């Protein structure tokens, strides 16, 4: 009998929550003790690390890993959530924003920067999830957090869309990065697509689709 503990690398599709994936693994493995090592929003797809059995104790270790993403940012619109699932709050267009300026502003975000967590994040402030407050229409002051952007590479510019790669430290919110880039450009921006490629040394290329998960997908959490 397979010992039901370890980790499973999952390729989470768009449109479902990280908790939905946890529920899928619980059903498929017939075990209750399942968690994940870092949320991916319903909009986002890509690598989600699932913790099974005693490996759920390792959550705090995974949180500290750097991550890689590719994403598509849309210029000229600001939304309530920083992504395409939110309500459009402002539409200003992107006239006058040149490719040279886009490249210059993206490059300026490399290094250590302060980032204010978005209200739609899972971060707890005084014991309450920010997204729970946001759903009630409540906005509270959040302290900026120091993060590090190790690399940003623009993959394609097709206005109003900009596709890019980013490697970043723990605690980085890609949708907030998009909003901040839009603010500096002066036209606003939001994310329309996010894919997580890696968490530490764990890669999306080694992940399983949810429908293919079984006990053979379990591996030791070699940190």
**What is the average per-residue pLDDT within 169-186?**
95
- Kindly name the residue from 20, 41, 158, 214 that is annotated as catalytic: 41
Per-residue pLDDT, 216 = 94
3-state secondary structure 32-91: CCEEECCCCCCCCEEEEEEEEHHHHHHHHHHHCCCEEEEEEEEECEEECCCECCCCEEEE
Predicted local confidence at residue 79, as pLDDT? 94
Report pTM. Answer: 0.91
Place of tokens 């490697």: 167
Whole-number mean pLDDT of the chain? 91
Residue 142: per-residue pLDDT: 81
List C-alpha distances in Å: 142 to 116, 124, 130, 153: 6, 10, 9, 29
**pLDDT digit string, tens, across residues 4-44:** 899 999 999 999 999 999 999 999 999 999 999 988 988 99
pLDDT the model gives residue 2:
56
What per-residue confidence (pLDDT) applies to 1? 46
pLDDT for 108-140, tens place per residue? Answer: 999 999 998 876 776 777 777 766 766 777 677
Q: Which domains does the chain have, with CATH numbers?
A: 6-64+201-217 (3.30.2350.10), 67-199 (3.30.2350.10)
Is 143 a known active-site residue? Answer: no
Report residue 215 as tokens.
Answer: 């006990």
Q: What is the mean pLDDT of residues 160-181?
A: 96
pLDDT in tens, 186-212: 999 999 999 999 999 999 999 999 999
**Rounded CA separation 163/161 (Å):** 7
Model pLDDT, residue 132? 73
């Amino acid at each position: 009998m397979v010992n039901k503990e370890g980790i499973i690398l999952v390729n989470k599709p768009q449109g479902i929550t990280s908790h939905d994936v946890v529920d899928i693994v619980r059903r498929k493995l017939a075990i209750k003790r399942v968690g994940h090592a870092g949320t991916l929003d319903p909009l986002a797809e890509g690598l989600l690390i699932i913790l099974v059995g005693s490996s759920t104790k390792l959550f705090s270790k995974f949180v500290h890993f750097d991550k890689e993403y590719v994403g598509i940012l849309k210029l000229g619109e600001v939304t309530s959530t920083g992504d395409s699932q939110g309500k459009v709050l402002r539409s200003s267009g992107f006239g006058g924003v040149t490719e040279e300026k886009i490249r210059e502003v993206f490059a300026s975000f490399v290094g250590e920067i302060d980032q204010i967590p978005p209200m739609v994040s899972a971060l707890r402030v005084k014991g309450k999830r920010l997204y729970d407050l946001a759903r009630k229409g409540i906005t509270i002051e959040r302290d900026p957090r120091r993060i590090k952007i190790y690399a940003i590479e623009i993959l394609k510019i097709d206005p109003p869309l900009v596709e890019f790669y980013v490697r970043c430290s723990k605690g980085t919110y890609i949708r907030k990065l998009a909003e901040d880039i839009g603010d500096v450009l002066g036209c606003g921006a939001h994310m329309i697509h996010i894919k997580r490629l890696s968490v530490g040394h764990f890669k999306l290329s080694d992940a399983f689709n949810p429908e293919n998960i079984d006990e053979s997908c379990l591996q030791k959490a070699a940190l």
